[in-house]
């Protein structure tokens, strides 16, 4: 929206009150000692307390430029890249080419162990002695799986190829080095060293250093939404030295090797024999869009896959779900059963051969000896030992589907379906950011149903990270009247009049009338001066860029402040509301409308924020030619370096106010000012100049300069900003607490703020006992931890005792509050164990002042010690380590960039979505997947057991009555679809019930739907069902003329029907899709059997028609179904009535809600 407004180009908006200076061009002033010409590098700093990410982000720029750097000769591609080492700008995100597709894709697929198992089986089957199945039937299952996966991969890759092609063929104008004319080239033909020209709204084709822009002062605005998700405009600068460069000028850039730090760039440029340093603000990255700037000319330094955006694009992280890990244990059990079956068959066959060794010489059905006369030898018989060995291998081939290969495919498909429903759930759609739920990881959907610990970031996750200026303390006096006062003081809002237009701040802040009065009427008093300085500091000490936006009223303009720190934004809006409106910013100066009078302030230098100093400062030359240093920072880092001779009363009053603010949950900043004398300024200027042009250790030097000068300032006052809670956070935390999920908050904020946010989001309650560990040394830390352990144990004991005695719930809830400096001593030592003990006893854990890596450490503390699943949710770069460490990582696509989302498994818009995500989708996913795995084990095992029983009746020779095609189709056609459909659609409980009773979530935490006990019960049931399926027809057809194909067809059909009826009995909800798939599959089975039996070249030709025509066939099926399902049905009925679990009760509630309460004992028998 803002981008459609008129661009704030300085020449258009020349404020009349500052007539001369802005037209002084830097180039002309280079030789004078003019403060304008200080050519400082203007990195984009941002101040965000509570986030340590900045220090990490800037790590890159503070590194030193080492010797093996890249030399780029501007305009000379061959000179820049003499050995053609650098890639052209053609990107290639596609994995395969036409030639490499087959080998590479197969290679990747065979990374899965199960595929190798099935390949080995298929290979074994090709040996003539072991050929159990025909060639086609033996390869088909594996081939099917491979082809399906390959087709999916090929399609995805084709799409990547297509988008690569579109991307690579986009046009860009490139300067011809000889003629200096710009001609159009395609993106892929751009090389390092090319000089490119990009126009407004175009996308930058590669990482390039800006040489010049359409703006005379060398400013360019870019939007980096594709890069880090931040939609505000960022300023980039061309160096003055290159602004007027001619195409023929020789110019060499030395820059660091390509890296993925999008906030860092380290280089210098040799132009006219002079060295100029380059920083992150001089480079525009591929993927950004040029805005508000007519054109920009730059030289390509990194291309294609070496650009920062490409280096940062990573695939979704690969994690394995808990259920899948547990499944491996059962898979091992199944292989043990498989081995046992094979052993039984081979041993029995050995005994049988031994007993019949003589008879088999002549037995017609064995024909051990080859009597053809040509050779006197055994026919296809290698002695008992080898025969037993072959039998073992053959039985492994016949029983191979004991390990369900199709399960892996079904699971992928089910997860795909589940992700679809999560993505399309309108309850997980965030209106404000217009973002849907995103499943970035496809294989941990079911983990969402088993979460025990949630680790949450605070800023931007629990809170909106939309800052609102609330109150201020100036010279020790608290002004918080703005909150209480009524709406009508809106008219006091300050506006700027400019060229007959009225400019208003876009987001005005409610002002305190006393303070407004003070500013207007008492500017000559000491107090008034302090207030004046205070707001001037707010307006100056920041990096906000004002943008003027048109409104529907032609006489009205809105000033929209663009910048990276929401805190600064709030402060600048506050200053504007009190009459200190920042109206223009160029690299050299800012223009502030001070109470109706436009004043120009030269920005001489800026010390960016870092997490060690915890403050930032600017050096400003005021219109009266005094030089001032404005500094703002966290209270702890400010009072210690402030002017010692200050009025102690003021300091104390300010501290008291600060305490009050932070106990309200407000974020506080202390503002200070220092007047620099001429000598001090000179000293600073030379130090700053040296540091900012240093080639080695620039960051460190700059920081040293900052520390040197950021002291002895006067404290002006403090500001308090409210970080608003996100919608629905307290309710979400309450729900999760009921669901048995422990919520830990890990924040970089200070303790008081963290605790107050804890109260406001109902994480902490007043009846909680708080255990605070807040120590600065190892010893005190150890001691307080010991005390905490003792205390928590006492409390826990007390509450159990009282519960036993009074049987009334009187458990004392406990909360542990730890700060980062104590964690330093605890996390890496033997104290870890005790910390874990205390933390798990406590209901709530709040960690404040935590560094990003400590966040990951805390997650690891739990993850390493329990089997409970952990979930981390955060929105900023400082949460990335935690998100990657936890079993499930969730990124909020909020205010703070996209790193968290890029590192996450799932991404969504709001913290409160966690409740429907875990309680509803997580519950469903877990329940569905758990059932599907058990069912697939059962389904395949029942079939294998039927084959096994038959082998006992076929002289252990591994004949199968079931045709080989039916055994192949069994798990991929006859029974596959219903389990997938149930895995995607079945719901044990409705969304409403699950949200109403969060406690139902515990079934997942306690592994109630998938555990060894359930597996064992299922396997016993499997054996029973297989016995029924095999022996009822077997005995019913004893002494009859039944042939193997007919009986095989009967077994195939009855096992499919039984297995589907079994599934049907367990389905919770029948919708039309479930009906269609279950009954459809039974019909499909019959059709397939008919087709197979219509093939004249198969021995079983026409068998199904003959056998279906007899009554015995149908009687067998009916009998098998009843006898097979009976034990399961009886158990189900008994358990559901006499030992109902919560889910069962909730299902009944759902169904009988309308009669609930009026039902009498008689009505129990009648269905309402």
Q: Which of residues 771-810 bind other proteins (CB under 8 A)?
A: 803, 809
DSSP state of 768: P
Q: Are 600 and 18 a contacting pair, CB within 8 Å?
A: yes
> Of 104-112, 368-376, 695-703, 1084-1092, which part binds other proteins (CB under 8 A)?
368-376
| Residue 648 burial (CB count, 10 A) | 9
* 1131 counts as binding other proteins under rule CB under 8 A: no
Asked if 360 is part of the footprint of other proteins (rule: CB under 8 A), the reply reads yes
Alpha carbon of 219 to those of 10, 296, 1013, 1080: distances in Å? Answer: 10, 9, 69, 67
Shortest distance (Å) from residue 908 CB to other proteins:
13
Q: Please report whether residue 1102 would count as binding other proteins according to CB under 8 A.
A: yes
Strands (E), 551-677: 556-562, 580-585, 589-594, 597-607, 615-621, 627-633, 666-676
Decide whether 572 or 961 has the Cβ nearer to other proteins: 961
Q: Which helix (H) or strand (E) holds 890?
A: strand 888-892
Regarding 33 and contact with other proteins (CB under 8 A), the answer is no
Structure-token pair, residue 860: 């690891």
- Tell whether residue 356 is a contact of other proteins (CB under 8 A): yes
* HEC per residue, 966-1002: HHHHHHHHHCHHHHHHHHHHCCCCCHHHHHHCHHHHH
Select 644 or 1164, whichever has its Cβ closest to other proteins: 1164
Query: At its nearest, how many Å lie between other proteins and the CB of residue 1103?
Result: 8
Catalytic residue selected from 207, 215, 457, 593: 457
The binder of other proteins chosen from 1037, 1057, 1058, 1089 (CB under 8 A):
1037
Dump the DSSP string for 694-710.
-SSSHHHHHHHHHHHHS
Number of residues that bind other proteins (CB under 8 A): 116
Q: Is 503 in the site for other proteins (CB under 8 A)?
A: no
Residue placing its CB nearer to other proteins in the complex, 685 or 991: 991
Among 173, 316, 1112, 1128, binds other proteins (CB under 8 A): 1112
506 binds other proteins (CB under 8 A): no
Asked whether position 104 contacts other proteins by CB under 8 A, the answer is no
Nearest residue to 1101 (alpha-carbon basis) of 1043, 1026, 1153, 1053: 1043
User: Dihedrals φ, ψ of 296, to 5°?
Assistant: -145, 140
Q: Is 1147 in the site for other proteins (CB under 8 A)?
A: yes
Cα–Cα distance measured from residue 934 to residue 1022, given in angstroms and rounded to the nearest whole number: 11
Q: How many CB atoms lie within 10 A of CB 803?
A: 13
Q: How far is the CB of 422 from other proteins (least distance, A)?
A: 10
Sign of torsion over alpha carbons 949, 954, 960, 962: negative
Residues 194 and 300: beta-carbon distance below 8 Å: yes
Q: Does 1142 bind other proteins (CB under 8 A)?
A: yes
Nearer to other proteins, 335 or 1071 (CB): 1071
Please, which residues have CB within 8 angstroms of residue 623's CB and are 6 or more apart in sequence? 599, 600, 601
Among 421, 639, 759, 836, binds other proteins (CB under 8 A): 421
Contact 595, 520 (CB under 8 A): yes
* Residue list 570-609, contact with other proteins (CB under 8 A): none
Residue closer to other proteins by CB (options 154, 1123) is 1123
Q: How far is the CB of 1002 from other proteins (least distance, A)?
A: 7
- The DSSP-derived string for 136-160 is HHHHHHHHHHHHHHHHHHHHHHHHH
Chosen residue from 230, 522, 680, 1150 binding other proteins by CB under 8 A: 1150
How many Å apart are CA 1168 and CA 1163, to the nearest integer? 8
- CB 362, min distance to other proteins, A: 4
Residues numbered 706 to 765 that lie near other proteins (CB under 8 A) are 740
Q: Is 1130 near other proteins (CB under 8 A)?
A: yes
Q: Would you say 345 and 949 are in contact if contact means Cβ atoms under 8 Å apart?
A: no
Q: Under the criterion CB under 8 A, does residue 155 sit at the interface with other proteins?
A: no
If the CB atoms of residues 93 and 1005 are measured against other proteins, the closer one turns out to be 1005
Which 3 state secondary structure label does DSSP give 1029? helix
CB closer to other proteins, 27 vs 1151: 1151
DSSP state of 304: G
Q: Which is nearer to other proteins, 95 or 987 (CB)?
A: 987
Which 824-883 residues touch other proteins, going by CB under 8 A? 843
Tell me the per-residue interface mask from 652 to 681 with other proteins, x by CB under 8 A, - otherwise: ------------------------------
Cβ-proximal residues to 79 (8 Å cutoff; 6+ apart), any chain? 73, 193
Stretch that binds other proteins, among 26-34, 815-823, 831-839, 1140-1148 (CB under 8 A): 1140-1148
How far apart are CB 953 and other proteins at their closest, in Å?
6
Count CA atoms within 13 Å of residue 158 on its CB side.
6
Tell me which stretch binds other proteins (CB under 8 A): 433-441, 592-600, 642-650, 825-833: 433-441
For position 351 contacting other proteins by CB under 8 A, the verdict is: no
Taking the least distance from each CB to other proteins, the nearer of 396 and 516 is: 396
Query: Phi and psi of 498, rounded to 5°?
Result: -150, 120
Is 995 one of the binding residues for other proteins (CB under 8 A)? no
Residue 759 has φ and ψ, to the nearest 5°, of -70, -45
Give yes or no for residue 640 binding other proteins (CB under 8 A): no
Residues 377-406 that bind other proteins (CB under 8 A): 379-380
How far apart are CB 671 and other proteins at their closest, in Å?
38
CB count within 10 Å of CB 117 equals 16
Tell which one of 85, 178, 365, 624 touches other proteins (CB under 8 A).
365
Q: Say if residue 334 is exposed, middle or buried (CB neighbours under 10 Å; 0-12, 13-18, 19+).
A: buried
Q: Which is nearer to other proteins, 537 or 842 (CB)?
A: 842
Nearer to other proteins, 704 or 1035 (CB): 1035
Piece in contact with other proteins (CB under 8 A), picked from 217-225, 882-890, 898-906, 1143-1151: 1143-1151
Report the residue from 155, 158, 382, 1129 that binds other proteins according to the rule CB under 8 A. 1129
In angstroms, the CA 1140 to CA 905 distance is 35
In the 8-state DSSP scheme, what is residue 186?
A: E
CB of 1144 to other proteins, least distance (A): 9
Beta carbons of 733 and 761 less than 8 angstroms apart: yes
Residue 1032 found at the interface with other proteins (CB under 8 A)? yes
* From 83, 111, 644, 1039, residue interacting with other proteins (rule: CB under 8 A): 1039
Q: How far is the CB of 347 from other proteins (least distance, A)?
A: 17
Residue 1049 annotated as catalytic: no
**Closer residue to other proteins, CB minimum distance, 19 or 134:** 134
Least gap, CB of 686 to other proteins (angstroms): 53
Of the candidates 119, 316, 1090, 1098, which one interacts with other proteins according to CB under 8 A? Answer: 1098
811 binds other proteins (CB under 8 A): yes
State which of residues 466, 987, 1018, 1080 lies at the interface with other proteins (CB under 8 A).
Answer: 987
Is residue 553 a contact residue for other proteins (CB under 8 A)? Answer: yes
Q: Are 1093 and 1049 in contact (CB under 8 A)?
A: yes
Give the residue from 230, 225, 228, 237 showing the smallest Cα distance to 289. Answer: 225
Nearby residues of 1054 by Cβ (< 8 Å), 6 or more positions away? 1029, 1033, 1116, 1117, 1120, 1121
482's tokens:
């703005």
* Integer CA distances (angstroms), 1069 to 77, 986, 1018, 1140, in order: 66, 6, 21, 18
Q: Which of 110, 382, 1070, 1079 binds other proteins (CB under 8 A)?
A: 1070
1126 touches other proteins (CB under 8 A): yes
Exposure of 77 by Cβ count < 10 A (0-12 exposed, 13-18 middle, 19+ buried)? Answer: buried
Which residues does the annotation mark as catalytic?
457
């Amino acid at each position: 929206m803002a981008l459609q407004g008129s661009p704030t180009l300085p020449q258009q908006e020349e404020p009349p009150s500052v007539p001369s200076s802005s037209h002084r061009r830097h180039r002309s002033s280079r030789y004078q000692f003019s403060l304008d010409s200080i050519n400082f590098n203007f990195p984009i700093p941002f101040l965000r307390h509570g986030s340590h990410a900045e220090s990490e982000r800037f790590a890159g720029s503070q590194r030193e430029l080492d010797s093996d750097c890249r030399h780029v000769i501007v305009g000379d591609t061959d000179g820049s890249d003499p050995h053609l080492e650098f890639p052209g700008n053609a990107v290639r995100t596609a994995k395969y080419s036409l030639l490499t597709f087959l080998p590479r894709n197969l290679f990747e697929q065979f990374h899965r162990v199960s595929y190798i198992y099935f390949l080995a089986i298929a290979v074994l089957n090709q040996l003539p002695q072991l050929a159990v199945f025909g060639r086609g039937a033996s390869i088909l299952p594996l081939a099917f799986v491979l082809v399906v996966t390959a087709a999916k991969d090929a399609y995805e890759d084709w799409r990547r190829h297509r988008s690569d092609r579109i991307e690579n063929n986009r046009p860009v104008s490139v300067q011809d080095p000889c003629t200096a004319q710009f001609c159009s080239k395609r993106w892929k033909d751009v090389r390092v060293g090319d000089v490119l020209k990009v126009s407004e709204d175009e996308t930058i084709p590669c990482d390039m250093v800006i040489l010049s822009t359409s703006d005379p002062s060398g400013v360019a605005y870019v939007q980096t939404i594709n890069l880090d998700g931040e939609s505000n405009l960022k300023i980039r600068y061309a160096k003055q030295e290159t602004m007027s460069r001619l195409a023929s000028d020789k110019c060499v850039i030395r820059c660091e090797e390509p890296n993925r730090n999008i906030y860092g760039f380290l280089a210098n440029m040799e132009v006219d024999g002079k060295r100029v340093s380059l920083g992150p603000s001089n480079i525009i990255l591929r993927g950004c869009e040029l805005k508000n700037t007519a054109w920009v000319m730059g030289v390509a330094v990194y291309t294609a896959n070496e650009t920062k955006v490409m280096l940062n694009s990573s695939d979704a992280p690969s994690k394995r779900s808990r259920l899948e890990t547990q499944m491996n244990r059962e898979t091992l059990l199944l292989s043990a059963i498989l081995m046992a079956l094979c052993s039984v068959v081979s041993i029995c066959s050995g005994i049988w051969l031994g007993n019949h060794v003589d008879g088999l010489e002549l037995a017609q059905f064995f024909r051990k000896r080859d009597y053809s006369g040509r050779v006197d030898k055994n026919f296809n018989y290698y002695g008992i030992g080898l025969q037993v060995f072959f039998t073992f291998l053959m039985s492994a081939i016949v029983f191979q589907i004991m390990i369900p290969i199709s399960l892996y495919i079904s699971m992928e498909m089910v997860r795909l379906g589940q992700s679809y429903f999560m993505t399309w759930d309108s309850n997980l759609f965030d209106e404000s950011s217009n973002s849907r739920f995103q499943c970035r990881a496809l294989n941990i959907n079911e983990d969402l149903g088993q979460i025990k610990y949630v680790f949450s970031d605070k800023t931007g996750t629990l809170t909106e990270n939309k800052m609102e200026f609330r109150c201020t303390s100036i010279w020790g006096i608290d002004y918080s009247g703005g909150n209480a006062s009524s709406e009508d003081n809106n008219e006091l809002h300050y506006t700027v009049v400019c060229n007959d237009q009225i400019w208003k701040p876009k987001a005005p802040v409610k002002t305190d009338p006393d303070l407004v009065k003070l500013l207007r009427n008492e500017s000559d008093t000491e107090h008034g001066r302090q207030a004046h300085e205070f707001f001037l500091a707010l307006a100056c000490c920041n990096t906000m860029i004002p943008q003027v936006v048109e409104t529907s009223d032609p006489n009205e303009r809105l000033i929209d402040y663009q910048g990276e720190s929401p805190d600064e934004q709030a402060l600048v809006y506050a200053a504007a509301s009190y009459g200190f409106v920042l109206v223009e910013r160029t690299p050299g100066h800012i223009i502030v409308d001070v109470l109706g009078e436009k004043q120009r302030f030269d920005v001489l230098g800026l010390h960016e924020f870092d997490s060690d100093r915890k403050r930032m400062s600017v050096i400003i030359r005021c219109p009266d030619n005094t030089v001032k240093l404005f500094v703002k920072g966290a209270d702890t880092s400010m009072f210690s370096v402030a002017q010692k001779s200050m009025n102690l009363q003021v300091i104390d009053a300010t501290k008291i106010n600060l305490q009050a603010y932070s106990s309200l949950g407000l974020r506080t900043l202390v503002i200070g000012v220092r007047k620099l004398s001429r000598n001090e300024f000179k000293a600073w200027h030379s130090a700053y100049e040296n540091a900012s042009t240093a080639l080695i250790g620039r960051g460190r030097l700059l920081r040293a300069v900052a520390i040197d000068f950021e002291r002895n300032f006067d404290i002006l006052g403090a500001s308090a900003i409210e970080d608003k809670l996100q919608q629905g956070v307290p309710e979400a935390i309450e729900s999760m607490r009921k669901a048995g999920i422990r919520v830990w908050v890990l924040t970089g904020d200070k303790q008081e703020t963290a605790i107050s946010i804890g109260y406001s989001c109902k994480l902490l309650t007043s009846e909680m006992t708080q255990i605070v560990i807040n120590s600065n040394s190892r010893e005190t830390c150890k001691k307080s931890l010991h005390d905490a352990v003792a205390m928590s144990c006492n409390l826990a004991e007390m509450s159990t005792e009282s519960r036993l005695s009074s049987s009334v719930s009187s458990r004392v809830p406990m909360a542990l509050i730890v700060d980062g400096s104590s964690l330093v001593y605890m996390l890496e030592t033997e104290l870890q164990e005790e910390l874990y003990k205390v933390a798990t006893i406590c209901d709530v854990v709040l960690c404040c002042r935590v560094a990003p890596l400590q966040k990951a450490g805390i997650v690891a503390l739990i993850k390493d010690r329990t089997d409970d699943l952990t979930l981390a949710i955060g929105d900023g770069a400082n949460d990335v380590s935690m998100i990657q460490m936890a079993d499930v990582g969730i990124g909020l696509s909020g205010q703070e960039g996209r790193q968290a989302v890029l590192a996450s498994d799932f991404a969504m818009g709001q913290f409160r979505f966690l409740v429907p995500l875990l309680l509803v989708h997580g519950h469903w996913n877990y329940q569905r997947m758990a059932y599907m795995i058990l069912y697939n084990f059962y389904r395949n095992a029942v079939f294998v057991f039927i084959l096994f029983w038959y082998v006992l009746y076929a002289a252990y020779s591994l004949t199968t009555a079931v045709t080989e095609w039916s055994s192949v189709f069994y798990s991929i056609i006859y029974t596959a679809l219903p389990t997938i459909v149930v895995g995607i659609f079945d719901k044990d409980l409705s969304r409403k019930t699950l949200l109403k009773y969060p406690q139902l979530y515990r079934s997942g935490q306690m592994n109630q739907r998938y555990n060894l006990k359930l597996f064992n019960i299922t396997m016993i049931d499997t054996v029973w069902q297989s016995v029924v399926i095999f022996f009822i027809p077997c005995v019913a057809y004893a002494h009859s003329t039944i042939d193997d194909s007919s009986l095989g067809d009967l077994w195939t059909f009855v096992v499919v029907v039984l297995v589907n009826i079994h599934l049907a009995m367990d389905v919770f909800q029948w919708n039309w899709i479930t009906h269609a798939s279950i009954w459809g599959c039974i019909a499909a089975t019959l059709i397939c059997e008919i087709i197979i039996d219509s093939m004249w070249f198969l021995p079983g030709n026409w068998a199904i028609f003959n056998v279906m025509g007899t009554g015995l066939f149908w009687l067998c099926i009916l009998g098998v179904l009843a006898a097979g399902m009976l034990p399961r049905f009886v158990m189900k009925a008994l358990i559901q009535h006499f030992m109902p679990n919560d889910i069962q009760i909730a299902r009944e509630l759902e169904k009988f809600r309308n009669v609930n309460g009026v039902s009498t004992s008689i009505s129990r028998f009648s269905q309402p």
